[in-house]
Amino acid sequence: MSEHSLPVLVVEDDPSLREAIGDTLELAGRAYVAVDGGLAALKVLDEKAFSIVVSDVRMMPMDGITLLKEIRSRLPHLPVVLMTAYAEVDKAVDAMRSGACDFLLKPFAPQALLGHINKYELAANRDDSGVIAEDVASRDLFAMARRVAQTDATVLLTGESGVGKEVVARFIHRNSTRHDGPFVAINCAAIPDSLLEATLFGYEKGAFTGAQQAQAGKFEQAQNGTLLLDEVTEMPMGLQAKLLRVLQEREVERVGGKKPVALNIRIVATSNRDMAEAVAKGGFREDLYYRLNVFPVAIPALRQRPLDILPIARHFLVEHGARFGRVGMSFSSGAECALTAYVWPGNVRELENVVQRALIMAPGSIIDPEHLSLSAQPSGKLQPAASSVSGQEKKGDNINMKDMERDHILQTLAEVGGSRKMAIERLGISERTLRYKLQQYREEGHYED
């Protein structure tokens, strides 16, 4: 059983059904506690935490509806799924009105039970803004993000590729006074240099060949909302000067235009590079760095928030399972152990890719370790670090992580026969980022074309 997942509480007075449900959960690698009635359920709920309650409706002396109301008064956010016979649909309706998140009609298939549990555990692991934050590092991160969201300060989000910087940026927007305004994102690494200026600032008709009509840029599109400058360190130096002026003056001038447009927007920028190092090497303007670095937030790598791994994996299992037509899938205990033991050099993006592959590879409803296709990890290398909001690591760990990232990128490139297009799709990074990484590896003597 995974040490990182809370158990399921099963409440059923029929011994045979109680045992059958327990067997289903055990085969799916889920921890559970089974009791024979409402009074026993309330007693055990006082003693330990559970991820979800699955209860029968028809029980004596306390029926499922009464138990549900008691749970709602004590633990209002705990998901409760009720099991009921077809002839008791009226009770099921009453149960929904009383706060049940759903009900299962008897008899039901094991996959239906597991599907309900995965679905509502996922909802319980999210806060009211739709993020998954079970690890203390993530909870601290989003508490900080919620505080800065109440201001209009420019935020700089840093962290490794794939940690979820855009997720945090959207969280800040949703929790700000600008939440009714637009959230506009632009990936500075994904747009060719020749188009980036026009995309950011907009252009007037006739400003260049092909400009047949005026077009507002991303800054104007984000008016009264939030603009996310994703991977801002990949912006060309010439454009950085123009960005600095926009941030200083709070107005933008379209390409080919003469009339500035006043801006009322909130800026969030992200980078997966060490920005101070980029400034020192002359690749990023120091004055722009300080203009963006008003409120820095370092996002921990996935290995630094291990309690998030399984909830996020289950989220992807439900999301992509529905998309692939594979509802009711679950991880075996072995698969859960493999997921939590892996160091995730590609972070959440890699985890999502692994889950999608597993959904394709698994022949049945249970995903086993061999379906995850996790790459082998070098022995003695990086171990999961202690949770830390700052994301700072010891120097030795940083070196190991860079080695892991390099090995992962080069191995992926080799697996696709050197195709950079296929490599960036697998790695979930931009073409410009891959080009930058390969140049680094070439200079270090680790890579040859």
Per-residue pLDDT tens over the stretch 395-413: 344 445 567 778 888 888 8
Distance of alpha carbon 217 from alpha carbon 227, whole angstroms: 11
Query: What angle, 0 to 180 degrees and rounded to 10, lies between the N-to-C axes of helices 309-324 and 333-341?
Result: 120
Q: In this predicted model, what pLDDT tens digit does every residue of 140-163 receive, in sequence order? A: 899 899 889 989 999 999 999 999
Q: In this predicted model, what pLDDT tens digit does every residue of 21-51 receive, in sequence order? A: 999 998 888 889 999 999 999 999 888 878 8
The domain segmentation of the chain, as residue ranges, is 8-125, 136-298, 302-372, 395-443
Cis peptide before 384 (omega within 30 of 0): no
Q: Is the CATH number 3.40.50.2300 carried by domain 8-125?
A: yes
What pLDDT, on a 0 to 100 scale, did the predictor assign at position 401? 56
Q: Of 65-69, 201-205, 324-328, where does the model show the most confidence?
A: 65-69
Q: Of 104-118, 196-210, 232-246, where does the model show the most confidence?
A: 232-246
* 230-246: average pLDDT: 92
| Class of the CATH domain delimited by 136-298 | alpha beta
395-443 CATH pick, 1.10.10, 1.10.287, 1.10.3470, 2.60.40: 1.10.10
CA distances (Å), origin 223, targets 177, 180, 272: 13, 11, 26
| Class of the CATH domain delimited by 302-372 | mainly alpha
What pLDDT, on a 0 to 100 scale, did the predictor assign at position 9? 95
Distance of alpha carbon 53 from alpha carbon 162, whole angstroms: 33
Q: Yes or no: say if 29 and 2 are a contact pair by the CB < 8 Å rule.
A: yes
136-298 matches 395-443 in fold: no
3-state secondary structure of 95: helix
